[in-house]
Amino acid sequence: MVYLVRRTRVKMMHLFSTSILLLGLVAGAIASGSWTYTNLSAWNLLANTKCNGKIQSPIAIVDSEAQTNATLGTFTKNHFIPNPISNTVINNGHSLQVNVGGGYMINDRKLLPGVYWPAQFHFHWALQGSRSGGSEHTLNGKQYFAEMHIVHNNNNTKNNQLNEKNGIAVLGFFIQADAISNNTAFDKLLHLAKKVKYTGESAIVNTPLPVSDFLPKDLTMFYRYSGSLTTPLCNEVVVWSVFKTPISISNSQKQEWQSILYYNNTETGQQYLIGDNFRPTQNLNGRIVTKPGNKSPDFNQQSKIKFLLITMIPIATLLF
């Protein structure tokens, strides 16, 4: 596969075309570099921050505690077609981000509460030698090596996604390094990542990256809850769908990933590897996590009385 790439170093605020203008807003303070993962408490001190709110993300998901919701539909890879018209790969100093121009729209109320179009996808991962994983959400107590977030904007919020309920929909996918052979989609991505090793670099890709190529085969089970962006300013406008089946990459791809991207430490002027770029899980604060599935039959009061009479009569007969 040949990639046609134009390499540039530009200010982040000028990277986005009109069609994906809100990417800079969704990224929050990514462009300004005014926050870090080494001083999470400082997020609460940022101007206009929502990071100390009550419905923050990520969260610790426990499958047995998630309530089934029969009204939730099922995602398939067909929902991610057609492919993007264009992609721009960016090192934003906090993550590897791929901006999406054109392509699919999700317009199914059983899946999402509005019409959503993709804006970008990015990743959170663990540094080599880390004692923990790098995923933001956890599932049944497990933190995975990495997590992929596909960020969608609600088409019905009139360019006010960061201030409207359900203004943004994020699809989250765990990533684990258990594949015997390389994941082809991630081979392409890592090839492009080498073009944007340092903060502020971007690579315009003329051969688009189909979003569906990155996804696991099984999309049937996911966990739905209301939350926030996981980076400042942590706006509480996100409808989350975190998928149970992880994406699989090889261990060699994991090691390569952990050694490519750098950020600039403004205090020391030194370049450091990007990684461990995850926010810890936040309190649920009474929120309900749901998942697709049929609810178990629930007896109404009359049925319960009938059931008791049927079971008690034979017992009473034996006693007398």
Kindly write down the DSSP assignment for every residue of 155-222, as one continuous string.
TTSTT-GGGSTT-EEEEEEEEEEEESS--HHHHHHHHHHGGG-STTEEEEESS---GGGGS-S--S-E
Tokens 């929120």, residue located: 287
Distance CA 112, CA 154 (A): 10
Tell me which amino acid residue 154 is.
N
Tell me which amino acid residue 131 is.
R
Residue of 66, 58, 224 lying closest to 134 (CA atoms): 58
Q: Counting beta carbons within 10 angstroms of the beta carbon of residue 260, is it exposed (0 to 12), middle (13 to 18) or buried (19 or more)?
A: middle
What is the DSSP-derived secondary structure letter of residue 38? S
Pairing mode, strands 5-9 and 201-205: antiparallel
Tokens 């994020």, residue located: 170
| Residue 49, CA atoms < 13 Å, CB-side half-sphere | 18
Alpha-carbon distances of 228 from 51, 54, 148, 217, rounded to whole Å: 9, 10, 16, 27
Annotated catalytic residue, options 79, 94, 122, 137: 94
Is residue 191 among the annotated active site residues? Answer: no
Angle in degrees, CA 106, 112, 114, rounded to 5: 75
Distance CA 27, CA 43 (A): 14
Which residue(s) pair with 243 in the sheet? 173, 222
Distance CA 320, CA 316 (A): 7
- Please list the active-site residues: 94
